Structure 1
Amino acid sequence: MTTRDSPDSPRRRIVEAAVELLEKGGPEAVSTRAVAAAAGMQPPAIYRLFGDKEGLLEAVAEHGYAQFLETKRAQFDPASQDPVEELRQGWGMVVEFGVTRPELFAVMNRAAARGQDAAHRAGLEILYRRVRRLAAGGWLRVDEELAAQIIQATGQGAVLTWHATPAERRDPALLTVLRESMVAAVTRAEPAVPAAESAPAAAARALRAALPDEADVLSGAELCLLREWLTRLAAHGDAPHA
């Protein structure tokens, strides 16, 4: 929800009514007439505030992301000593949300594909901070961008597969296996050590993650060049060896 919406504002009442209808009956249940009735208002109010049903669903997605982001921020602990376990917990929280609230999760994903939701972007920032901590600690096995994509893809894939499977055939072990496969794909069993064959790539990732936006010792151009070199070194470590 936007910051201008008080708990009893007409806009919030409409959005919360739409969320309830969505989660009970899917997108088809979110008609302007049904939402207006559930919110105790007249249909013209929806058109005035949201334009049309699509605008209302975008507001529903924003509401869902804002709620989810509050939980995600509360769970994110910058002082955590175990960034790998933090990765597990964050992935599990996303998947649990998608498994327990599938209709809202689907609407949120459609809104995210358009890239216009501020709460979704804030959630991505938390994901990238987690990935950066892994890189800075020498835990990251792959490039930061690829790691973030793997984390997102496995989480969304887990939710889609869960709901595409008949209820009687769903096995919670699927989610555990996918989570651990994701962790194994993006992290090392132990932080990179100099004796490892790919140590230059791991060290490059760690140093790149620790670089500040500005530095007294280096100029902006020098920092940019250093990032380029580190990126190339990190990518080289992922290439197959002859």
Structure 2
Amino acid sequence: MKTKTLTARIVRGLPAGARPRVIISTDALDDQRDRIMQAGLTFRPRMRVLYAHQYNTLPVGLVTNIDRYPHRTEAEWTWFENDAEVERVRNIYEQNALDASLGANVDAAASERNAEGGYNITKAHVVEISLTPVPANAGAVALAKSLGRAGAVEVDVTREQIRAAFEATRPWLAAEIRRKTATAVAVARAPREFDLAAIGEDDVLEGLTPAGVRAAFRAVLPAMVDERVRRALRIARGRLD
């Protein structure tokens, strides 16, 4: 199985009081030249709606219905109630400022090359719907290559492509770590110049502990590194950035 992020399309202009609805997939060719076979889609029971694929936070909604049509599949959901975070997400959604995408496990063994240079995907298991501030692609079912969120990287690329992306990212990451470290240390009123590699578990830099440095990194680096690695992976796969 490979994890993919499928870009969905929110259905706009619904009647007042209607439940929110999303087009999960169509059988049209997507931007990656892949085609999802609607009959091969399966879904997690009681599927949740998340915000931005954040698996470590509470969901914002529950999928209540999945409708299959000859050439597309749609789903509708209800919002969870009495939660401030859900209300924030819902408020932005109702102002048409969020898009939708899906987390799905694709059976690589059941995928075959198509005449357009992509794959015909005959089996995919959708595990969640996410509302996101930025769409991954313009198409309704464009497949975006996504970093895993559960401590592992699961992307539709080869080991060689991942290695090339890592090598391309390494110099930038080292420079960004030095820059962000200097900022974090300055904020903590510690010396700006020091050797990051020399920090050990028992080191203390004028009151700044290694745990403090790690906490600063966790606060500022993840999103930045995530985007840079995505860019390097796109380049490694031969796609223009």
**What TM-score, normalized by structure 2, do the two folds share?**
0.22
Relative contact order (alpha carbons < 8 A, sep ≥ 6): 1 or 2 greater? 2
**Under a length normalisation based on structure 1, what TM-score does the superposition of the two structures give?**
0.22
Structure number with higher strand proportion: 2
Q: Which structure features the higher share of helix residues?
A: 1
